[in-house]
Structure 1
Amino acid sequence: MDPQTAIHELRTPRDLTILDITHPFLHPDTPDEHKRASNASDASSRDPASASASLLAADLAHYRDLFTKLRFSYLEQVTKENFLKAITLEEPDFVSAAENAELEEKLLRADKAGLKERKEEVANLLRELEEQGRSLATRHEDVQLRTTQLSSLPSEITNLEQIIADLQSAAQPKSSNPSLALPLQPTRDLLAQREQESADLDRQIELLRANLPAKRAEVERLRDELTPLQARKIKAVQDAQEARRRRQDGGTGDELEEKGRWLRGQDAGLRGMLEV
């Protein structure tokens, strides 16, 4: 830059702003930016129409940056103050070695108890698995045995059918009873029917046997009642014969006849009751 230009710039009036004043203090290591800001200020001074808008935007950006830094510094100081108060307000709790040992022993006992419980659970689970394994092995052997038996059943059924056919053809002479020539299932049905009838007869016999003592007692009672009646009948017959003899001799026997009719009525009633 020549001396004339420098003198001209010094003589030229310039508007000083806060941004221009504080820039060397906030950014001491950025001469280029200061130079650009000075050039912007010079340009603003040379262009009065856009000077106010550009200066306002620059001041706003500067204040926003400044307030952000101040806010961060304030929060940092408040945090430090709270931390210092927290560590200096109350004394820390100091734990002795005995307390540490006691806590370790308590935790160790709890861990041992939990481990023992887990071991018992695992042992129970292993026992259940062993039992299930034995059961499955037994069932597998049973299934294999049944499979072998089922595989041999068709040939055995064929042989039995052939034997039955041979026996039926060799049965001579055939029975005249149609019940003896029935197939297997009708024979089973007939057998079940006969067994049911036999069971019904057995129940009836048992019922009659159970009622037999009562019937016998009733017969004995009726016989006891009949004995005096028989005696009275005999006496009545004798009286009737005596009355007939007297009538033949010329006497009267109306009373004896009425008594005889009454006895005959009683005798007929008792015979009807006893079914004799």
Structure 2
Amino acid sequence: MAPPTPQSVLAKLRSLTTTQEITILKLSEPISVAVTQLHDHHQRTSDISTSSLDVTTPSSLEADLTHYRELFAKLRFSYVEQVTKEKFIRAIVGDPPLIVSSQENLDLEKENLEAKATLKALKTEVSDMVTELEEKAKDLSRMYEKVQVETIRLEELPGKIDELENAVAKFKKTQAVGCNPNPELNLPLTKTLDLVKSRKKRESELDKQLEQLQSQVPRKKKELDRLHAELQPLETRKQNSMAAAREARRRKEAALGGVEDDLEERGRWFRAAEAGLNEILEIRG
């Protein structure tokens, strides 16, 4: 027999969630119907109206349960009181009258104590069962909500799987063609992990160097400020010297009647003449 496909499992889960919806309203329908029928036959005289049955919520059910417990306690007390009075009157007016000895009272009291102990044990057992049922109900509620969320995720999975399969096929096609310009992306897993490890190590070293350089920044900044402070007077002296040189040159040119200083030209002429004489006389300088 072939295993079920994800689509069939998802379809079955959808059908179960749509046909077997669990809500507090569905669970309270048998109680609501029974109480409504009881109200139709015997008009209830309590302070809680049947309008609460129209909108059933956990808080309204809890309020109804508390109210019914109080009514039952009052009804039980009234019943015990009425039965006791009836028995007492029958014992008095009976012929012959019922005479109860002290031993019978002691025996009856002993039986009552045993019955009370048994009743208390049963109440404790019922209380434990109710607590256990409440815990199971909460667990089931959480599981049901989880199933609902997981169902939504399962409905989204086929589309995501198709997208991933298309991406994988495209990636395989790219790898087969070999059009990837970065050869590091074509490495196998082992070499890729080694490359990542080396890159992380290099990154760690660079981080340490960066921390060292950042720690040197304040000192370098102070040194730079000091050099700027020392450079400022030198820059001022340079500007003054250049201004004085320009002024001296201007005065010299003015003294020569506007003719440029020919000392440099004369020096070049003398050097050229010396070189020519050396070549002529074959004298090495």
TM-based fold match above 0.5? no
TM-score, structure 1 as length reference: 0.31
- Higher alpha-carbon Rg: 1
RCO comparison, higher one (Cα < 8 Å, 6+)? 2
TM-score, structure 2 as length reference: 0.31
